A and B are shown apart, each in its own frame.
Chain A
Amino acid sequence: MIEGFTALYIFMLSAFTGYEVISRVPVILHTPLMSGSNFVHGIVLVGAMVAMGHASTTLELAIGFIGVALAAGNAVGGFVVTERMLEMFKSDKGKG
């Protein structure tokens, strides 16, 4: 169980990590990076699965179903478009 201040510490350290990881990115990678981070929050899928797995009423199940489908779309779509974009970046020297 992650509680109280431990949760706060995780939150703070993750926030700094995100900031540092992105802070010196060349402009040419802004799109793939945004799209890549868009993919990473597709991790919401695991939460949606857990929520749906614990659903007991039909309403909860229906909302859970929508959540899982949306989350899977986020993860898969985010991956496919990021991968497609990064595939294209080539340089004059050292192709590929």
Chain B
Amino acid sequence: MDILIQISYFAAAILFILGLRRMSSPLTARTGIHWAGAGMLVATLITFFWPGMENYLLMTAAIFVGGVAAWWTGQKVSMTDMPQMIALYNGMGGGAAGAIAAVELLRGEFHSGIFLTLAVLGALIGSISFSGSLIAFAKLQGLIRKPLRFPLQHALNLLIFALAVGYGGMLVVTGDTSGINLLIFFGLALGIGILKTLPIGGADMPVVISLYNALTGLAVAFEGFVLNNAAMIIAGTVVGSAGTLLTQLMARAMNRSIGNVLFGSFGGEQGVEESVEGAMKPIDVTDASIMMAYAERVIIIPGYGMAVAQAQHKIKELMDVLLARGIDVKFAIHPVAGRMPGHMNVLLAEADVPYDRLYDLDEINADFGRTDVALVIGANDVVNPMARSNPDSPIYGMPILNADQARNVIVIKRGQGKGFSGVENALFFADNTRMLYGDGQAMSGELISAIKQL
């Protein structure tokens, strides 16, 4: 039986890697998840035959409970709420890694200090990922509204982190992994995840979610060493390194380091108030619709506001109306628009916008100069030209979409408030910009009917 288990795990590891590989192209992506899914199924089923196991009935019940709950929520969740669900499922994985560590530490049968060390490390990382992801979930779900910041926060976080590492070290050295010691250790580890995530603002969520994903992978790999389980080691490590790379990509797209996201309190401090010359100039639906209807090239720039307003379907309709008039319509997607990597792509895909109309920052920035109308809906900091021009601005150096270079810019926006970073957006004050105030979905709807009547 043992050899059959090993062969199955081996096959699962291959299927995971090939599956992920296939997910890196839109053409093969769908089959990719099926391959990985097959690997998971094989590995899970064969594990029932692991020698010397008991508690099968309860085990099956646990799989049933967790699986059905996740299946049900996963089917039900709307595309706009996808970031928090991914955060939640990821947190569950981290929690599971922590639970494995807890059971193994309670049993205390370690062959050598190395395995004990890895168990403790996995427990630490898994627990941080667990509680951190839950806080991220609560924030994205709107259960926690404001980033929580207080004086000496970083000092406190650092202290707790040092305590947790120190306590973990003590567990390893003394080998005393009895109940109360574990309780303190896990308490500290969970505390780090909570305290670390509370002060992080919404716009940094793509980096955070992606980071916790990498951490869970790493925790799983460490527990894989402890359990002598090659499938866990390989899958966990692959995810850990892939997740780290993705986290770096996200951070780079904001011109910030991962450390800066975790330790900086962006937009929380009162910086120098910058004033922008000029005034915001409003426009009404009729004028905006005429401007768009007689354009040759239109670029639509969606942001988190589009997700909040659930405007993606109306935007797709707007695209169709413009295309019917022979207008060239493109979408410009900033890498960190929204609350998770690629958030806008998913929402537009849900609304049936073909993916070859979506363009990356690098692909589209040269096009703005030849564009008649840039329509900004729910995006703010990612189109702020101050990131290019004002070295004092907190967002200076962040790569942005050069919407300001279009002949005309229309911004659909709820009110006159500032973006997440708390920085005034110079684009809104530019001579070629007109503000269309209102809800993204409602305004898109009005634009559609106005254009249809022309």
Q: Do A and B come from one complex?
A: yes
Contact partners of A34 in chain B: CB under 8 A: 86, 209-210, 213, 243, 246, 340-342
Q: Are B245 and A22 in contact (CB under 8 A)?
A: yes
Sample of 25 A–B contacts (CB below 8 Å): A14-B237, A18-B238, A18-B239, A18-B243, A22-B246, A35-B82, A40-B19, A40-B239, A41-B93, A44-B97, A45-B44, A47-B223, A50-B50, A70-B92, A71-B96, A72-B65, A75-B67, A77-B73, A77-B74, A77-B92, A80-B75, A87-B30, A88-B349, A91-B354, A91-B355
B95 at the interface (CB under 8 A from A): yes
Q: Are B107 and A60 in contact (CB under 8 A)?
A: yes
Contact partners of A83 in chain B: CB under 8 A: 30, 33-34, 37
Q: Are B40 and A59 in contact (CB under 8 A)?
A: no
Q: Are A72 and B55 in contact (CB under 8 A)?
A: no
Q: Are B26 and A63 in contact (CB under 8 A)?
A: no
Contact partners of B19 in chain A: CB under 8 A: 36, 40
In the complex, A43→B240 CA distance in Å?
13
Q: Are A76 and B71 in contact (CB under 8 A)?
A: yes
In the complex, A36→B358 CA distance in Å?
21
Extra pairs beyond A22-B246, A27-B360 (14, CB < 8 Å):
A26-B360, A27-B345, A30-B341, A33-B242, A38-B216, A41-B239, A43-B220, A50-B53, A54-B103, A67-B99, A72-B70, A78-B90, A88-B346, A90-B352
On whether A70 and B99 interact (CB within 8 A), knowing A49-B59, A52-B58, the answer reads yes
Binding site for A on B (CB under 8 A): 9, 12, 16-17, 19-21, 23-26, 29-30, 32-34, 36-37, 40, 43-44, 47-48, 50, 52-56, 58-59, 61-71, 73-75, 77, 79, 82, 85-86, 88-90, 92-93, 95-100, 102-104, 106-107, 179, 209-210, 213, 216-217, 220-221, 223-225, 227-243, 245-246, 249, 333, 335, 340-343, 345-346, 349-350, 352, 354-358, 360
Q: State how many angstroms separate the Cβ of B34 from the closest Cβ of chain A.
A: 8
Q: Is the interface of B mostly helix, strand, loop or mixed?
A: helix
Q: Are A41 and B345 in contact (CB under 8 A)?
A: no
Determine which of B26, B99, B210 lies in contact with A91 in the assembled complex, contact meaning CB atoms within 8 Å: B26
The residue in chain B whose Cβ has the minimal distance to the Cβ of A7 is B225
Q: Is the interface of A mostly helix, strand, loop or mixed?
A: helix
On whether A38 and B99 interact (CB within 8 A), knowing A16-B241, A19-B242, A31-B342, the answer reads no
Contact partners of A79 in chain B: CB under 8 A: 33, 36-37, 40, 74
Q: State how many angstroms separate the Cβ of A6 from the closest Cβ of chain B.
A: 10
In the complex, A39→B16 CA distance in Å?
10
